[in-house]
Amino acid sequence: MRGGYLATLRARAARDATALRLAALAPPAAVLFLSAPGAAWPHLLAVVTAALACALVFAEIRGRGPVFEALVPALLMFLFAPPEASPGQIAFALSLALVLGSLIFGGAGFGFLSIGALSLALLAFSFPPLAPVVPVDAVIWAALPGGLLVLLAGLAPWRVVLAGAAGFALAAWPAALDPGYALPLALVLVHLGADPFGAPVTGPGQWLSGLMTGGLVAALAAPGLPGLDLSAGVFAVLLANLFAPLMDAGVIALADWREEARRA
């Protein structure tokens, strides 16, 4: 009974989070589509079709209604995938990420990785020349209100974003920081690093995860690039995701130890 109740709560939380995150990603996706509809529509059709197909197949297997959280990483793939990628390539990478990173565990709320970051990483691994790219400035500006929305709604932990910016600045210092890094970095931290199902849930864990993500972005970035290396951001997020459960477990264990010491 308890397990079924928790599963219901997680499914409800996933639905609520999905609605707000889709509302946040719709404006930049619309701007990207309108900027070059002839080139963009095959990509958009491919990611939406792949996401819905995966969601419907697993809903049928489990005998319950589909939860459309798969559309969130689909839009992230649409925003960050390189234009030269074929629709089949991005659909393959997205489907693999959804199945291996989320759906086999039960969907959003049951896994521990940012599926948006995982899909972009799998695209780069499967097809090496297809590294993720930073969208054009108009798309980034269109994404800022949505980023603020998910922060205010508590869906993107603000500690991860703030610590990520600090970690990047500390790791990149004393090299000259290009002010043009700020907005792309914010986009990566809010929509990938602060994924509500990939980031730690404890406050100290979120600070640690953000510092790790920002520091790794600076450490992994290829030198000499004119802008932020999004590949570094993607792999930094995934590495931080892998350590997130350990961070939370360490914070909880330390709190328990301090409580026992106080009572002794």
Domain boundaries defined on the chain? 1-144, 156-264
At residue 9, the pLDDT reads 43
Q: Computed from CA positions of residues 233, 238, 241, 242, in that sequence, does the dihedral angle turn out positive or negative?
A: negative
Helix residue ranges per DSSP H, 127-173:
137-152, 158-172
CB-based contacts of 242, cutoff 8 Å, min separation 6: 112, 113
d(CA 109, CA 102): 8
Nearest CA to 220 among 230, 211, 210, 206?
A: 230
**pTM exceeds 0.85 for this model:** yes
Tokens at 96, concatenated = 């693999």
In eight-state DSSP terms, residue 132 is: -
Q: Can you give the pLDDT of all 264 residues of the chain as single tens digits?
A: 444 444 554 555 566 678 889 999 999 999 999 988 778 999 999 999 999 998 888 888 876 665 678 899 999 999 999 999 999 999 999 999 999 888 887 666 667 889 999 999 999 999 988 999 988 889 999 999 999 999 998 888 999 999 999 999 888 776 656 777 888 899 999 999 998 888 888 999 999 999 999 999 988 886 656 678 899 999 999 999 999 999 999 999 988 888 888 887
Do residues 146 and 196 lie in contact, with contact meaning Cβ atoms separated by under 8 Å? no
